[in-house]
Each structure stands twice: as C-alpha cells, then as structure tokens.
Amino acid sequence: MAIAIGLVGFQLQPVAAAETEVEGVMSFANRQLNKPFRLGSEGLRRYDCSGLVYRTYLENGLLDRIGGSRKLARGYYRWFKQRGQLTNDPRKGDLVVWAKRGKRVSHIGIFQGYNKRGKPMAVSALVNPYGVTNHKVHSISIPLKAYLDVKF
C-alpha cells in the first residue's frame, strides 16, 4: 500500500511541474501589461511582440521550449512547424501567431486561455498606444495563423 501511494505521487510530479511552469509564464507576461511597444526591444521596460515572448520564456528558464534563442515571430512559427508542434487545441502558455492571408507571420503572443464568453485570449505587445495588453485572439487587425504547442 505504501508503494502505491509513492507511485501515485511520482506520477503527479510532472503534471505539477508543468502547471508551475505555465503559472510562471503567465505570471511574468501579465506583470508586463501596459509596458510600451518598441520595435526590437525585449524588456524589461519596453517590448516588441517577439521580445515579449523571448523574455517571458527566458525569465522562466524555458528557452529550450521555444527554440533556445531570440527569433522574429516568423522564426518561432517556422521552428514549431518544423517540429510538428502546431495545434488546434491551445493551452495556457502556448504561443499564438498571426499573418495576413498569403503573407509571412508578422505577430506573436502568448495564449492565455478563454474568457467568460469562451473567446480565446492572448497577451502580446501591440504598437503604441497599446503596448503589452490582453486581447481577444481575433480582435486585432491581423488574422490568426496558428497556435504553437509549447509542450508543457
């Protein structure tokens, strides 16, 4: 009986670790809200969209989950696509990319889950005057391209 309890606890450890990682990612991203947009910036006072993603995963020791280095939005998309990590079922902490039809990916953010009305939400750095903000995935002027599965 004591062995079974030990095994159950062991099996839950990876799930608890993944939840802690997601909480860390979401907590850091949300603490950046209202910081201004600046092209090429990766924090801690200003961000562009890919800089926010990079800094969020760097601060949480999770750069290996998103390619190990700073990339542009299209570079993150390409890295995830090459690994078969696009998803239609995003979870908190996954990435969101946007692109105009027939064009390259041009924006990236972090998936936050669903609001009370069931709408998908993201946090991303939008051009000023918005800066880092929470917004509906489908409320910006660029259409959703894909969700990128970070594998929590």
* pLDDT tens profile 14-46: 556 668 999 999 999 999 999 999 999 999 999
DSSP 8-state class, residue 37: B
Nearest to 135 by CA among 126, 127, 143: 126
pTM of the model: 0.88
The CATH fold of domain 2-148: endopeptidase fold (from Nostoc punctiforme) (3.90.1720)
- Token pair of 7, please? 């095994």
Average confidence score pLDDT of the chain: 91
CA 67 from centroid of its chain's CA atoms: 13
pLDDT above 80 for 10 = no
pLDDT of residue 128: 86
Q: Which residues contact 53 (CB under 8 A, 6 or more apart)?
A: 66, 76, 95, 108, 109, 110
pLDDT above 90 for 113 = yes
What 3-state class would DSSP assign to 47?
A: strand
pLDDT of residue 12: 45
* pLDDT tens profile 69-98: 999 999 999 999 999 999 999 999 999 999
